Structure 1
């Protein structure tokens, strides 16, 4: 455990506290004015986050998922219902990525070679970018969109987020 001290503009105190909480396991921030009264001193007790566990298995992530056929219908209908250029929303990108991951898993299991794995990986990267840009309301536990493990295994991130979604 360690103590972090930050001197910041009072308007940035909440943002700094949130950033520290995202990086470390923190306690409540204590705030005091600086001697000149123009800035704020933040004191935060922190500890390193424990090492995250493994990604959910496909069986765990997709245990409550609708059939692949039903998800194909949902994603096609959702895409068709939105006017061109309008944001499709996080649920669309998550369900599309999970659908493509499930198709790729079947292909891998059956020994089929094709572009399903590549399509699933690209859809996963699109969801990660959506979440990273702040547009998504991601679960992020144990891996958040910027985590190196997410970059290394984008489809694992999809399974984590889908398991939290369902």
Structure 2
């Protein structure tokens, strides 16, 4: 942990604070006027962000996954048999996003350009919204990470 002190124009204080928070894990920012009263002193404790977890490869993430056909059947069955007015559980959205990602990966491997990648990305965004995550990453990488963790605990 270390301390950062910045002297800046008062109009820049919010921008400097936002930039520091994006770069470091920071504590509360303390603001004081400089002795001449024309600038602002910012003082905060900071630390490096923790190293991000490595994203699993598709092969790692889907090593324990059932066949694509089986997963399509499972998701279709879950959607069709959902009681009216009930929300589908997270497992449904995770498995749907994962199977769409796997279909898109097959298309990409064969250099086929259909809408599978768009559907996979949209489903991944839906999962991220459901998880209310602040992770900034490729949404399909997020699905792989979450699926790998889920499959490991099944």
Q: Compute the TM-score of the two structures, normalised by the length of structure 1.
A: 0.62
Distance 1:74 1:97 in 2: 13
Deviation of residue 53 (structure 1)? 3.5
Tell me the equivalent position of 2:141: 156
| 2:134 corresponds to 1:146 | yes
Q: Deviations along 1:51-98, whole A, 9 cap, x unmatched?
A: 204311000000000000110110011111112331101000000000
Q: Distance in 1 between matches of 2:134 and 2:110?
A: 32
Aligned residue in 1 for 2:105:
105
* 1:93 corresponds to: 93
Give, in angstroms, the shift of residue 2 of structure 1. Answer: 5.4
Give the TM-score, by structure 2 length.
0.67
3-state SS in 2 of match to 1:148: coil
Cα distance in 2 between the residues matched to 1:112 and 1:85: 38
Match of 1:72 in 2: 72
Distance in 2 separating the partners of 1:163 and 1:59 = 10
Map 1:2-151; keep pairs closer than 5 Å. Answer: 47-132=47-132, 145-149=133-137
> CA–CA distance in 2 between the matches of 1:113 and 1:66?
25
* Aligned counterparts of 2:101 and 2:57: Cα–Cα separation in 1: 12
Gaps of 5+ in 2: 4-23, 26-44
Match of 1:35 in 2: none
Following the alignment from structure 2 to structure 1, what is the Cα–Cα distance between the partners of residues 88 and 97?
A: 13
Pair member with larger Rg: 2
Once the two structures are TM-superposed, the CA of residue 128 in structure 1 deviates from its matched residue by 0.3
Q: How many residues align?
A: 114
Aligned to 2:11: none
Q: Deviations over 1:88-123 (max 9, x none)?
A: 010000000000000000000011111000000000
Detail structure 1 runs of 4+ shifted over 3 Å in the superposition: 45-49
